[in-house]
């Protein structure tokens, strides 16, 4: 059953309630390894489901366009102060609706239409909002891209510098969606300074690792930091923009009134709770356990002949080229899902195949670490993945069903926040 319980929803709309219950059980029974996902705490779920949903608060604490902000001002201030304390920044904006609008706000704050910026392209591990041709960021601005090394699978900092010197970008993005290695923030900062660009660190994937001390922080190196709150940071779906005091006004103006109207106060409350949780010593242990699990899984998969981009991982994320296993990313992801192992098909750098049917899969250990799995379970996870991928090649549904049962049995011993048996 979903936790908190849903008696009113069940009475008012049994159809919808049954779908939510179905999703809760699905999340309970699956090994959830989509690298951008997690399980939020029941406290976060409760904060997001409150009457804060009813309130309009256009503006910022102490300067609103609607009355009745006696509590919402305090809630947003709490979230802001907790973000600043956790990451050590001078300014935080907690109003952006999600990671993509947060990035768009940064463009609005620092760029004019047609201005040039530098980023890692989506197919190499960047994000849509880092200038993909189908994104507003690619249509309205001029993206130039650096790449990862063909042989190393790692970002080539010499190439970043050469490209930056050649194209003179106004802004440089670092960070992405499929980067299994540590981002060298000081090196990016040195290049940005040399060419007079604003350095934006998009830490959406690794924010929780940074908060927990399991990845170096961009603070003191990047001019602006954007992050989602719902990936390794383990908060509600939302985002934050952090910066030095110098850029505070430009960012706040870009978010409101530049792009948005009223902030989602219930989400702000959930973010405040998640930031409080992330400031506890248990979260530091959690962040390090995510990385330990990812490394243990990488070792076990390497031993089974999986081809990991860059050879392994420094963070929560693994990117795997399945070409050598004789299966494409999409059918592999579908069979793995049927086997109770949920992840996504993904392009690998220099992928000869198309994004809708690429060569690889991407996975992460944030959610299974929240469930309480440790290094000792990772060889078993790797074995299941290997068996499922082999089953995909042979069309062996019996093996897939066996793995799904075994996954469910294992997870029975690891409670899920948001669900009770």
Q: Which residues are annotated as a binding site?
A: 122, 126-128, 246
Does residue number 361 form part of the binding site for ligand PLP (CB under 6 A)? no
Find the catalytic residue in 129, 228, 268, 369.
228
Q: Is 350 a catalytic residue?
A: no
- Half-sphere exposure of residue 187, counting CA atoms within 13 Å on the CB side? 14
Q: Which is nearer to ligand PLP, 132 or 265 (CB)?
A: 132
Q: Confirm whether 58 is a catalytic residue.
A: yes
- Find the binder of ligand PLP among 59, 175, 180, 263 (CB under 6 A): 175
CA nearest neighbour of 325 among 238, 392, 251:
392
* Binding track, positions 77-106, relative to ligand PLP; x by CB under 6 A: ---------------------xxx--x---
Burial of 352 per CB tally in 10 Å (0-12, 13-18, 19+) = exposed
CB of 317 vs ligand PLP, minimal distance in Å = 10
Choose between 175 and 340: whose C-beta lies nearer to ligand PLP: 175
Residue 261: C-alpha distances to residues 59, 257, 308 (Å): 8, 6, 43
Q: Does the annotation count 231 as an active-site position?
A: yes
Q: Does 143 bind ligand PLP (CB under 6 A)?
A: no
Q: How far apart are CA 345 and CA 335, in angstroms?
A: 11
**What DSSP element (H or E) covers 227?**
strand 224-228
CA distance linking residue 150 with residue 230, whole number of Å: 31
Q: Examine the residue annotation and report whether 286 is marked as an active-site residue of this protein.
A: no
Size of the site for ligand PLP (CB under 6 A): 14
Stretch that binds ligand PLP, among 175-183, 259-267, 336-344, 382-390 (CB under 6 A): 175-183
Tell me the closest approach of the beta carbon of residue 129 to ligand PLP, in angstroms.
5
- Phi/psi region, residue 213 (left: phi>0; alpha: psi -120 to 50; beta: rest), is left
Sheet with 116-120: list strands edge to edge: 91-93, 239-243, 224-228, 198-202, 171-174, 116-120, 142-146
Q: Catalytic residue, from 202, 223, 277, 307: name it.
A: 202
CA distance 21 to 4: 11
Closest CA to 173 of 218, 238, 230: 218
Residue 202 among the catalytic residues: yes
205 belongs to the binding site for ligand PLP (CB under 6 A) = yes
Where on the chain is the footprint of ligand PLP (CB under 6 A)? 36, 98-100, 103, 127, 129, 175-177, 202, 204-205, 228
Catalytic residues: 56, 58, 202, 228, 231, 237
């Amino acid at each position: 059953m979903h936790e908190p319980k849903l008696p009113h929803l069940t009475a008012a709309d049994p159809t919808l309630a049954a779908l939510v219950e179905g999703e809760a059980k699905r999340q309970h029974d699956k090994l959830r390894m989509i690298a951008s996902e997690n399980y939020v705490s029941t406290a976060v779920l409760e904060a997001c489901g409150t009457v804060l949903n009813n309130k309009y608060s256009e503006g910022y604490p102490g300067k609103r366009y609607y009355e009745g902000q006696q509590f919402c001002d305090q809630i947003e201030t709490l979230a802001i102060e907790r973000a600043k304390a956790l990451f050590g920044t001078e300014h935080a904006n907690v109003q952006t609706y999600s990671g993509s609008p947060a990035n768009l706000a940064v463009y609005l704050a620092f760029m004019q239409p047609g201005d040039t910026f530098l980023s890692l392209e989506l197919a190499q591990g960047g994000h849509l909002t880092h200038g993909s041709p189908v994104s507003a960021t690619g249509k309205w601005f001029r993206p130039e891209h650096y790449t990862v090394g063909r042989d190393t699978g790692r970002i080539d900092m010499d190439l970043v510098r050469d490209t930056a010197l050649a194209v003179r970008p106004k802004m440089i993005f670092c960070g992405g969606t499929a980067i299994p290695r540590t981002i060298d923030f000081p090196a990016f900062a040195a290049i940005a300074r040399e060419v007079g660009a604003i350095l934006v660190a998009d830490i959406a994937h690794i924010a929780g690792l940074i908060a927990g001390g399991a990845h170096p922080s961009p603070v003191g190196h990047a001019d602006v930091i954007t992050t989602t709150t719902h990936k390794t940071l383990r908060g509600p779906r939302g985002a934050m923009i952090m910066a030095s005091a110098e850029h505070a006004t430009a960012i706040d103006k870009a978010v409101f009134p530049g792009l948005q109207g009223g902030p989602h106060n219930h989400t702000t409350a959930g973010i405040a709770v998640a930031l409080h949780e992330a400031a506890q010593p248990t979260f530091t242990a959690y962040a390090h356990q995510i990385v330990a699990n990812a490394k243990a899984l990488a070792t076990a998969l390497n031993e089974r002949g999986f081809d990991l981009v860059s050879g392994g991982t420094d963070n929560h994320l693994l990117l795997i080229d399945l070409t050598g296993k004789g299966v494409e990313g999409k059918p592999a992801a579908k069979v793995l899902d049927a086997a109770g192992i949920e992840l996504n098909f993904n392009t690998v750098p220099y992928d000869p195949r198309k994004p809708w049917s690429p060569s690889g899969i991407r996975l992460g250990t944030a959610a299974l670490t929240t469930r309480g799995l440790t290094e000792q379970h990772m060889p078993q996870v790797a074995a299941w993945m290997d068996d499922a991928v082999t089953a995909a090649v042979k069309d062996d549904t019996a093996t897939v069903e066996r793995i799904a049962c075994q996954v469910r049995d294992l997870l029975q011993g690891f409670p899920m926040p948001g669900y009770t048996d």
